């Protein structure tokens, strides 16, 4: 697949996702309608600060209860997430809340509810949730959430040993969003420098992957990034937005001050500023030159 096709596929995917969300919104509103009173009552709980010590346990019980309608359980989870910000008040109920989340992170729970549960548990670096997510990535039949979500959730823990599974998903995935999520995990590993360098220079890769590779390489090895970025910026056959991104990174990061004294590079950048109708690149040139 060439770059154009990849980009078009990505755009189609984004559009489809947005349409799905729009279609789903009325459906979920319809499902919630019969429970409006209960949901309304639950949604007021976070404001009733004095009542929280007695209300939080009943919210957790509602969340756990499989016999309660899903929209009500979702409302309970939303309320609990809001209350959790009141750390001191919520602390006595934290263990029970996490236990309830683990209990609902299973296949027969509503898809959104279990995804929310896994998201919260993953933010806590919870090993139970991590194990479920990893199993889902290894075997699609076990997956509780889409691969892109599983990767986004696992990324919360850079001590979690998820680079290997991310690399595996990256190689097999067809959609850019999943590849991006996998690459974000790989970009926390210093051993990924080579791959990031290669992706950044590969003009056939989607822009999202190349931009992320630029960020990742800059994070892991600013010197190597500067070397690669200089080549890309001056390569007229490369995409304008990638060249502009690379130049922007060199202009703004404090690690590359030496380039402001590199007369050959500065002359080349000046020349770029006067060439062709490349608006983004010209703006980046302007920003770079203003730092001199």
* Contacting positions for another protein (CB under 8 A): 53, 64, 87-89, 91-96, 98-100, 102-103, 105-106, 125-128, 130-131, 157-161, 163-164, 188-191, 220-222, 254-255
Length of the chain: 292
Q: What is the nearest approach in angstroms of another protein to the Cβ of residue 161?
A: 4
Residue 121 structure tokens: 């548990």
Q: What is the nearest approach in angstroms of another protein to the Cβ of residue 12?
A: 34
Nearer to another protein, 59 or 242 (CB): 59
Q: What is the nearest approach in angstroms of another protein to the Cβ of residue 90?
A: 9
Nearer to another protein, 125 or 282 (CB): 125
CA–CA separation, 60 and 76 (whole Å)? 7
CA–CA separation, 205 and 168 (whole Å)? 18
Phi, psi of 51 (to 5 degrees): -90, -10
Nearer to another protein, 25 or 219 (CB): 219
Q: What is the nearest approach in angstroms of another protein to the Cβ of residue 220?
A: 7
Nearer to another protein, 50 or 140 (CB): 50
Nearer to another protein, 46 or 160 (CB): 160
Q: Is 149 exposed, middle or buried (0-12, 13-18, 19+ CB in 10 A)?
A: buried
What percent of the residues of the chain are helix, what percent strand, and what percent coil, each to the nearest 5? 80, 0, 20
Nearer to another protein, 98 or 278 (CB): 98
Of residues 126, 52, 130, the one with CA closest to residue 91 = 52
Q: What is the nearest approach in angstroms of another protein to the Cβ of residue 181?
A: 17
Phi, psi of 125 (to 5 degrees): 55, 40
Q: What's the DSSP call for residue 67?
A: T
Rg (CA), the chain: 24
Q: What is the nearest approach in angstroms of another protein to the Cβ of residue 78?
A: 21
Tokens 């590079």 belong to which residue?
265
């Amino acid at each position: 697949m060439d770059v154009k096709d990849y980009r078009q596929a990505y755009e189609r995917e984004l559009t489809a996702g947005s349409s799905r969300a729009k279609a789903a919104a009325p459906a979920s509103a319809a499902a919630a309608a019969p429970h409006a009173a209960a949901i309304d009552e639950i949604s007021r709980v976070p404001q009733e600060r004095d009542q929280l010590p007695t209300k939080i346990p009943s919210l957790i019980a509602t969340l756990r209860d499989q016999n309660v309608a899903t929209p009500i359980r979702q409302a309970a989870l939303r309320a609990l997430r809001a209350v959790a910000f009141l750390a001191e008040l919520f602390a006595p109920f934290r263990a029970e809340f996490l236990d309830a989340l683990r209990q609902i992170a299973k296949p027969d729970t509503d898809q959104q509810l279990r995804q929310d549960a896994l998201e919260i548990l993953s933010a806590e670096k919870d090993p139970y949730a991590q194990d479920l997510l990893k199993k889902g990535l290894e075997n699609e039949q076990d997956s509780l959430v889409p691969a892109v979500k599983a990767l986004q959730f696992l990324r919360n823990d850079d001590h979690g040993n998820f680079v290997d599974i991310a690399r595996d998903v990256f190689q097999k995935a067809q959609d850019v969003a999943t590849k991006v999520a996998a690459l974000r995990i790989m970009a926390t590993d210093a051993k990924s420098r080579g791959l990031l360098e290669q992706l950044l220079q590969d003009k056939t890769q989607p822009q999202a992957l190349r931009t992320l590779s630029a960020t990742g390489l800059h994070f892991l090895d600013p010197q190597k990034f500067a070397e690669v970025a200089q080549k890309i910026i001056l390569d007229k056959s490369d995409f304008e937005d990638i060249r502009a991104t690379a130049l922007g990174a060199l202009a703004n990061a404090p690690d590359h001050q030496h380039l402001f004294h590199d007369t050959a590079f500065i002359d080349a950048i000046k020349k770029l500023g006067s060439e062709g109708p490349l608006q983004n690149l010209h703006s980046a040139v302007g920003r770079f030159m203003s730092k001199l």
